[in-house]
């Protein structure tokens, strides 16, 4: 099947399902456990999502669920592919809105990814993910979303290309965030690239224009706890990995993950004190089976690293595939856990989050 033609068919079907992301999400309410998103958390999510065009969710959407908090709320992840029907729809929508520098910058980023001979397209491909912070306590205008690019595994692998290719991605994100270029920041990113061990690659690079300046780099492919801790020592990460290493080792003994990722922040003075350790239960990109996750979920419960009702809801209601009635036609829905991340600052675990996805297709294309 022609991938572009198939994607265009999916997008055309989904663009007819709703006018906004919020209208689409409302159709999924009974498939989102109240223990995970409810009350003001759900209302705030819909308020933000109703301001976004449905073109941002035609191939799916995701939630970032804080398992360490009792409040049932989530941040929202949405994506675009350069050159797609949805990207063209999004650009038309941006033209119809009042002047918004963040939207203009995103359109420019997509255009650069599509330019013939673009170094950015060669390294980062065509996918852009937007991460929307949804905080029920927030006052005033909502913050601009985080922007993430996803290079292919062989584009920025430890065995592969020039570290300057990471600089290409960094420069694009700096420009999209409205920041000034910083040669020292670029060089720090390239040094991090050179320190990666064999078998790893940079899976994502992102920036949060609404937060303090910094680039977030996710290094994927650590198979053993020791590989991760050795790398952190090599790069002189300023925190203490002993805060998470014992738990990771126990999960390794249980075969509770296939590989790990380390998310690090490159800031003005060097590496930031934060560290994200992400667990991937399988090598499958979009697993819809909950079984591979149960060892990790049970481990979080045993160590009191998550709110128990949320962990239970995650285990019983966040995976599978089914047909459902959409507002304007049948939909095939595949959902699951993409990864689970523990975030450390200094010497302690501050957050545990699950990243769940919903992929949507017309009947017959799932």
Return the closest-CA partner of residue 86 out of 16, 25, 147, 149.
16
Specify the pLDDT at position 3: 41
| Across 311-319, average pLDDT | 96
pLDDT surpassing 60 at residue 150: yes
Specify the pLDDT at position 4: 45
**pTM of this prediction exceeds 0.85:** yes
Which residue, chain included where needed, has tokens 């994927």?
220
What is the end-to-end Cα distance of the chain in Å, rounded?
A: 13
pLDDT 10s digits, 45-77: 999 999 999 999 998 899 999 999 999 999 999
pLDDT surpassing 80 at residue 366: no
Contact (Cβ atoms closer than 8 angstroms) between residue 268 and residue 213: yes
Question: What does DSSP assign to residue 54?
Answer: G
Q: Please state, in angstroms and rounded to a whole number, the distance separating the CA atoms of residues 190 and 310.
A: 39
Specify the pLDDT at position 330: 82
Return the closest-CA partner of residue 169 out of 130, 216, 205.
205
Q: Is 310 helix (H, G, I), strand (E, B) or coil?
A: helix
Q: What confidence tier does 325 reach under pLDDT thresholds 50, 70, 90?
A: confident
pLDDT 10s digits, 169-214: 999 999 999 999 998 888 899 889 999 999 999 999 999 998 889 9
Q: Please state, in angstroms and rounded to a whole number, the distance separating the CA atoms of residues 221 and 233.
A: 17
Specify the pLDDT at position 139: 81
Q: Please state, in angstroms and rounded to a whole number, the distance separating the CA atoms of residues 322 and 296.
A: 25
Q: Please state, in angstroms and rounded to a whole number, the distance separating the CA atoms of residues 8 and 222.
A: 35
| Across 285-301, average pLDDT | 96
Specify the pLDDT at position 285: 85
Specify the pLDDT at position 142: 87
Specify the pLDDT at position 101: 65
Strands (E), the chain: 61-66, 75-81, 127-132, 146-149, 201-207, 215-222, 259-267, 270-280, 320-326, 329-345, 348-361
pLDDT 10s digits, 187-197: 899 889 999 99
């Amino acid at each position: 099947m022609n991938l572009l033609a198939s994607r265009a068919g999916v997008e055309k079907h989904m663009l007819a399902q709703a006018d906004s992301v919020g209208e689409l999400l409302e159709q999924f309410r009974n498939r989102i456990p109240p223990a995970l998103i409810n009350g003001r958390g759900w209302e705030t999510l819909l308020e933000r999502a109703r301001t976004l065009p449905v073109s941002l969710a035609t191939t799916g959407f995701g939630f970032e669920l804080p398992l360490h908090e009792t409040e049932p709320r989530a941040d929202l992840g949405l994506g675009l592919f350069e050159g797609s029907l949805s990207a063209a729809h999004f650009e038309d929508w941006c033209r119809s809105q009042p002047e918004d520098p963040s939207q203009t910058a995103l359109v420019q980023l997509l255009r650069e990814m599509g330019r013939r001979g673009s170094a950015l397209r060669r390294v980062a491909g065509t996918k852009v993910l937007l991460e929307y912070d949804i905080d029920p306590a927030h006052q005033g205008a909502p913050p601009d979303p985080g922007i993430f690019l996803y290079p292919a595994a062989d584009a920025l692998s430890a065995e592969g290309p020039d570290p300057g290719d990471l600089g290409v991605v960094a420069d694009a994100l700096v420009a999209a965030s409205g920041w000034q270029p910083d040669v020292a920041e670029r060089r720090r990113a390239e040094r991090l690239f050179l320190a990666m061990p064999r078998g790893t690659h940079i899976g994502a690079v992102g920036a949060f224009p609404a937060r303090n300046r910094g680039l977030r780099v996710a290094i994927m492919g650590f198979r053993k706890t020791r590989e991760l801790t050795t790398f952190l020592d090599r790069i002189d990460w300023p925190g203490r990995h002993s805060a998470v290493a014992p738990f990771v080792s126990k999960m390794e003994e249980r075969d509770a993950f296939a590989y790990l990722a380390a998310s690090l922040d490159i800031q003005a003075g060097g590496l930031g004190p934060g560290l994200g350790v992400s667990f991937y239960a399988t090598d499958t990109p979009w697993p819809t089976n909950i079984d591979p996750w149960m060892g990790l979920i049970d481990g979080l419960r045993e160590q009191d690293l998550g709110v128990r009702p949320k962990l239970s809801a995650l285990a019983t209601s966040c995976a599978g595939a089914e047909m459902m009635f959409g507002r304007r036609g049948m939909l095939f829905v595949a959902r699951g856990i993409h990864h689970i991340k523990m975030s450390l600052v200094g010497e302690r675990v501050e957050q545990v989050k699950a990243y769940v996805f919903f992929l949507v297709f017309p009947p017959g294309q799932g």
